[in-house]
Every structure is written in structure tokens, then in C-alpha cells.
């Protein structure tokens, strides 16, 4: 077939969709492997060792196994919703890639409201978790879902407030604009508190330990995805890992200067290397945190949010607003 | 209010201490032994099933078929058979059967033996398909060694 008869825009969309899906799977594989390896080293054991040199093919085999498994739909579940939930978790994941500025030129669309768009897409995940827990018709799943909603609603606030202080300084919501605005100094230098608050809230948003109450194995079997098996289970896992990637890429874009770093040849594209390096460094911290802390209790979780994170982010936002206003007056 | 901030600081400090502990552990060498491929030296005190001692001088066992071990064994898992032979003082050992499915590894047989003819083996990889595989003839095992 002569592909030149197709509209070029369509070809572009198809190619980028394929790249995005491939990247989602690759990212989940890298993170899954890194997580198990690092968990191993922190406990002074080697992690996966059997499949391939140093167990590097383990995640591939796991993927094959999950694809080969039967999809079990419990008799008493809400069938349609039960099947929709994993898709609901997975589909938005592709969308958020549209606005991530990997480097100067590697960005699909630079939306004016890129940041809002990305946060909106990421919070669809809560709906997926709620639908999954509800339709499973199982008390563990339902508890997981309820916890997830309570936690996400609570932690959305400090997260947005801390991001807002950066937006005040950058004076734009476009992700590329924010990266360009932090030319001399990264915002992590002038907004360290906002960075920490964002990162903590981000851990809670992605349901990562120590905030992994929605899937707490020791209390809820597996929380909202207890009833899921095979590919629908792996869609949840893929979504979780991709959401981790998003949380870290927002942190990199807003606080760590995006793609800026030591200039390499073809910098407009190769800046992506710096971007990915920073993102994976933050992901390393996430994994490190997970294997260090025990899970918090539910009251501790909410207390921490309402008593510490929200007041601090509010104060931080107010101070930022005043400083931004005063800066041109004083200097 | 004071408590609020002291909670914050002590909490933050303990979190950082936790992180530093795990990162230090991460760079320490791995302690796992990849078992079927790597094996640890086992301690000489290890008590496997009993085995007849090979006397380096005569090249054979030291048992005089006195039946002490058979009598003393609390689990009744030893059968010693000896016979009178020309030119041999006492009884010559014909077979020494140990029913390891019943043995409790109490060590009484090793202790009572007047000639110290018994010892513990270092064998720990014992697995089989039927209980018959654990009814050992120690004399035969000695000859095979
Ligand atoms: S170790 Fe104890 S139970 Fe085992 S054969 Fe010797 S005396 Fe019997
Ligand atoms: S006590 Fe020692 S010498 Fe006597 S029969 Fe048992 S193994 Fe042989």
C-alpha cells in the first residue's frame, strides 16, 4: 500500500501512539526490574537472578505469563464495569504523554494549560480504582477503593497548592514555558518546600509505599485489584508505573529544570537524555523510599496531610505570592 | 504548638536516618548463596545420619558387633548382624542396617559404641521417592566409600 495517500497527520498520530504504548511497556519493565533488584539489594539479596544474565529477562517472562493467563470475572461482579475499569486506568496514561516536554523539540503538543491537562488526566486513575473496587463486589476491593479515593482527594490539595507556587513564579501553565522560565536557577532552589510537599503528595497519589493503603497486602490481600487476573491486572500495574513516571516528570519539569543540563550535540533532541536521567533518579528515590518505610495507618495518613502538608503548602503559596508581587517593586 | 514542630523535626530526622540505613545496606555485599550452584561449608558438628567410621589403619570399619547401639537406640532403628568367623576375634559384622525414617538423631548410638565405630555423616541433601531409600545398609555404604 502506498502510504502517501493517507493524511500525514494520521500517520503521525499512529506512529506516536505506537511509540507511546511501547514506551509505557518498556518503562514498566525497567521499573519493575529496578524495583525488584533494588528491593533485593536493600535487603542484601540479589533479586531476580534466574532468567537471563542477572535476571534481566524476568519481567519479559512475567509479561508473557500474564498475557497467557485466563481473565477471571467473578460471578457476582458487575461484569461491564469490571471489564472497563482496567481500560479506564490504562487509556488516560497514553494521553498525558502528549504534553510532556522531553526536550526542546521532543514534545507532541505544547498546550497552554499543559500542567492542568496532565493533572486532570492523572486523577482519572482514581475513578478507575473506584470502579474496579466497586464492581469487584468484594469487601477487600471495596475497602481498597474507598481508601484510595479518600487518600487521593486529601493529597490532591497540597499537591496542587505546591505546584501553584511554581506556576506563580513561572507565570505560565505550559510545561515548556515553565522549563524555559527556570533558566538561571532551577525552581527546586527557590521552592525547596514546595518540591518536598509535591513529592510526598505524589507518592500518595500513586499509591506507593508508605502510602500504599489501597492495596495493602497484609490487610486487604491486594486491595482494589484483588479480583483481577491476567492482562487486566497487568493493565493496572502498567498504569501504576506510568503514573509514577508522570509524577516524576512533573517534578522534573517544574522543579529540576526539565531537559536542561550540560549541552550535548543535537541539544534540541538530546536534552531528552537529561530529562530521562532526572526522571529515573527521582523514580529511584521513590523505590528507595518504598523499601525503607513501613506503611502508615489511615489516621496518620490523613493527619499528616491536613496538619502538615496543607498548612505548609498554603504558607508557602502565600509567601511566594507576596514575593512575586514585591520583587519588581523592590528591585 | 511546640509539640507540633518538635514532632515535625523528630519525624523528619527519623525518616532521614531510615533512608541512610537502607542506602548503606544497599551497597553492602549480597549475602544470598545461590544454593544448588553454590554451597556453604557445613559445620563439623552437623548431625546427619550415622555412618560407620573407616579405620585408616585397616581400611575397614571398627565395629565388633557388640549390639550396644541396637539395644540403646530409643527409636529401635538399628539392626546389627554379626557372625562367628575363622580367624576373627569376636563377631564379624555381616550387615548394619539403619532405618533412617525412624532415627531421631539423638546420638545415643554414637555415644555408647565402645570402639567409636560410629560417626555422623555430613549428608544433608536427602530426598527420595520411597521410604525404602532411607533404610541404609551402613556396611555397604562403607564399602562404597
Ligand atoms: S541416633 Fe539415636 S535414634 Fe538414631 S540410630 Fe542412633 S540411637 Fe537410634
Ligand atoms: S555399639 Fe559400636 S561396636 Fe557395638 S555393634 Fe554398635 S557400632 Fe558396632
User: What length does chain B have?
Assistant: 145
pLDDT tens per residue, range A131-150: 888 888 888 888 888 888 88
Give residue B40's pLDDT. Answer: 85
Ligand 1 atom nearest to CA at B110:
6
**Three cell numbers at B145?**
566409600
Cβ distance A292 to B22 less than 8 Å, yes or no, reads yes
Instruction: Show the CA angle centred on residue A77, arms to residues A74 and A78, nearest 5°.
Output: 140
Q: What is the ipTM of this complex?
A: 0.71
How many angstroms separate the alpha carbon of residue A193 from the centre of ligand 1?
A: 69
The residue that leads in pLDDT, A194 or B89, is A194
Collect all residues of chain A within an 8 Å Cβ-Cβ radius of residue B19: 288-289, 292
- Among partner residues B4, B15, B22, which is closest to A42 by beta-carbon distance? B22
d(CA A49, CA A261): 35
Q: Could you tell which of B110, B113, B120 is best to mutate to test the pocket of ligand 2, judged by most ligand atoms within 8 Å of the CB?
A: B113
Q: Mean pLDDT across chain A, nearest whole number?
A: 83
Mean pLDDT value of segment B12-27: 89
Cβ distance B30 to A289 less than 8 Å, yes or no, reads no
Chain A contact present for B15, CB below 8 A:
yes
pLDDT tens per residue, range A211-240: 887 777 777 777 777 878 778 888 888 888
Q: Is 80 exceeded by the pLDDT of residue B9?
A: yes
Give residue A331's pLDDT. Answer: 66
Give residue A165's pLDDT. Answer: 87
The residue that leads in pLDDT, A208 or A2, is A208
**Three cell numbers at A195?**
518540591
* Residue from B17, B30, B35 whose CB has the most chain A CBs within 10 Å, to mutate: B30
CA distance B40 to chain A (A): 16
Domains and CATH numbers, chain B: 50-144 (3.30.70.3270)
Give residue A1's pLDDT. Answer: 55
What residue owns the CA closest to ligand 1's atom 3?
B103
The CB-based long-range contact list for A18-23 (8 Å cut-off, 24+ gap) reads: A20/A94, A20/A97, A21/A94, A23/A97
The strand pairing partners of B97, in sequence order, are B79, B137
d(CA A241, CA A62): 15
Give residue A28's pLDDT. Answer: 86
Cβ distance A292 to B19 less than 8 Å, yes or no, reads yes
Q: Is 70 exceeded by the pLDDT of residue A299?
A: yes
Mean pLDDT value of segment A317-329: 85
CA distance A91 to chain B (A): 35
Residue showing cell 497486602:
A217
What residue owns the CA closest to ligand 2's atom 8?
B63
> For residue B76, how many C-alpha atoms fall within 13 Å in the half-sphere facing its CB?
0
How many angstroms separate the alpha carbon of residue B61 from the centre of ligand 1?
A: 18
Give residue A3's pLDDT. Answer: 66
pLDDT tens per residue, range B30-47: 888 888 888 888 888 888
* Contact call for residues A112 and A173 (beta carbons, < 8 A): yes
Collect all residues of chain B within an 8 Å Cβ-Cβ radius of residue A292: 18-19, 21-22
How many angstroms separate the alpha carbon of residue B64 from the centre of ligand 2?
A: 6
Is this prediction's pTM over 0.90? no
In this prediction, residue A175 has a pLDDT band, given cuts at 50, 70 and 90, of confident
Mean pLDDT value of segment A181-185: 79
Give residue A151's pLDDT. Answer: 86
Give residue B28's pLDDT. Answer: 86
DSSP E strand boundaries for B4-87: 50-52, 78-84
Q: How many other C-beta atoms are found inside a 10 Å radius of the C-beta of residue A102? A: 21
Mean pLDDT value of segment A28-44: 88
Q: Mean pLDDT across chain B, nearest whole number?
A: 85
- Among partner residues B15, B26, B34, which is closest to A49 by beta-carbon distance? B34
Residue showing cell 539489594:
A41
Indicate the angle between helix axes A58-68 and A230-255, nearest 10 degrees: 130
Mean pLDDT value of segment A173-198: 83
Give residue B87's pLDDT. Answer: 73
How many angstroms separate the alpha carbon of residue B77 from the centre of ligand 1?
A: 7
Give residue A326's pLDDT. Answer: 83
Cβ distance A45 to B32 less than 8 Å, yes or no, reads yes
How many angstroms separate the alpha carbon of residue B110 from the centre of ligand 2?
A: 9
Q: Which of A86-90, A198-202, A267-271, B17-21 has the lowest mean pLDDT?
A: A267-271
Q: Is 70 exceeded by the pLDDT of residue B65?
A: yes
Mean pLDDT value of segment B87-103: 82
Helix (H, G, I), strand (E, B) or coil at B119: strand
Give residue A304's pLDDT. Answer: 85
CA distance A46 to chain B (A): 6
Amino acid at each position: 500500500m502506498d502510504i502517501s495517500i493517507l493524511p500525514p497527520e494520521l500517520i503521525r498520530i499512529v506512529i506516536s501512539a505506537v511509540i507511546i504504548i511501547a514506551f509505557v511497556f518498556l518503562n514498566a519493565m525497567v521499573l519493575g526490574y529496578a524495583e525488584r533488584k533494588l528491593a533485593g539489594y536493600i535487603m542484601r539479596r540479589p533479586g531476580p537472578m534466574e532468567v537471563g544474565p542477572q535476571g534481566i529477562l524476568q519481567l519479559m517472562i512475567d509479561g508473557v505469563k500474564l498475557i497467557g493467563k485466563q481473565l477471571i470475572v467473578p460471578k457476582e461482579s458487575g461484569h461491564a464495569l469490571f471489564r472497563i475499569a482496567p481500560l479506564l486506568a490504562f487509556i488516560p496514561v497514553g494521553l498525558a504523554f502528549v504534553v510532556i516536554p522531553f526536550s526542546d523539540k521532543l514534545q507532541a503538543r505544547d498546550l497552554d494549560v499543559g500542567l492542568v491537562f496532565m493533572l486532570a488526566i492523572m486523577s482519572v486513575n482514581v475513578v478507575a480504582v473506584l470502579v474496579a473496587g466497586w464492581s469487584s463486589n468484594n469487601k477487600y476491593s471495596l475497602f481498597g477503593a474507598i481508601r484510595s479515593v479518600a487518600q487521593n482527594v486529601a493529597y490532591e490539595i497540597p499537591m496542587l497548592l505546591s505546584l501553584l507556587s511554581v506556576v506563580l513564579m513561572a507565570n505560565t501553565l505550559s510545561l515548556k514555558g515553565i522549563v524555559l522560565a527556570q533558566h538561571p536557577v532551577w525552581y527546586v532552589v527557590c521552592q525547596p518546600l514546595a518540591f518536598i510537599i509535591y513529592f510526598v503528595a505524589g507518592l500518595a497519589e500513586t499509591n506507593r509505599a508508605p502510602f500504599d493503603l489501597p492495596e495493602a497486602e497484609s490487610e486487604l490481600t491486594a486491595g482494589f485489584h484483588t479480583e483481577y487476573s491476567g492482562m487486566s491486572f497487568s493493565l493496572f500495574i502498567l498504569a501504576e508505573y506510568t503514573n509514577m513516571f508522570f509524577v516524576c516528570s512533573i517534578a522534573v519539569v517544574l522543579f529540576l529544570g526539565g531537559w536542561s543540563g550540560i549541552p550535548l550535540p543535537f541539544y534540541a533532541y538530546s536534552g531528552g537524555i537529561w530529562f530521562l536521567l532526572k526522571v529515573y533518579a527521582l523514580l529511584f528515590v521513590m523505590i528507595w523510599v518504598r523499601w525503607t518505610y513501613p506503611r502508615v495507618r489511615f489516621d496518620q495518613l490523613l493527619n499528616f496531610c491536613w496538619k502538615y502538608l496543607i498548612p505548609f503548602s498554603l504558607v508557602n503559596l502565600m509567601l511566594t505570592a507576596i514575593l512575586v508581587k514585591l520583587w519588581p517593586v523592590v528591585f | 504548638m511546640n509539640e507540633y514542630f518538635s514532632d515535625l523535626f523528630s519525624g523528619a530526622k527519623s525518616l532521614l536516618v531510615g533512608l541512610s540505613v537502607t542506602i548503606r545496606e544497599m551497597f553492602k555485599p549480597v549475602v544470598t548463596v545461590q544454593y544448588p550452584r553454590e554451597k556453604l561449608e557445613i559445620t563439623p558438628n552437623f548431625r546427619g545420619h550415622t555412618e560407620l567410621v573407616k579405620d585408616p589403619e585397616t581400611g575397614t570399619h571398627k565395629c565388633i558387633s557388640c549390639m550396644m547401639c541396637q539395644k540403646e537406640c530409643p527409636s529401635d532403628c538399628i539392626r546389627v548382624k554379626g557372625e562367628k568367623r575363622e580367624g576373627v576375634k569376636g563377631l564379624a559384622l555381616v550387615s548394619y542396617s539403619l532405618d533412617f525414617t525412624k532415627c531421631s538423631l539423638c546420638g545415643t548410638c554414637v555415644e555408647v559404641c565402645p570402639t567409636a565405630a560410629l560417626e555422623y555423616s555430613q549428608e544433608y541433601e536427602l530426598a527420595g521417592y520411597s521410604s525404602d531409600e532411607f533404610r541404609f545398609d551402613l556396611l555397604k555404604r562403607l564399602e562404597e566409600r
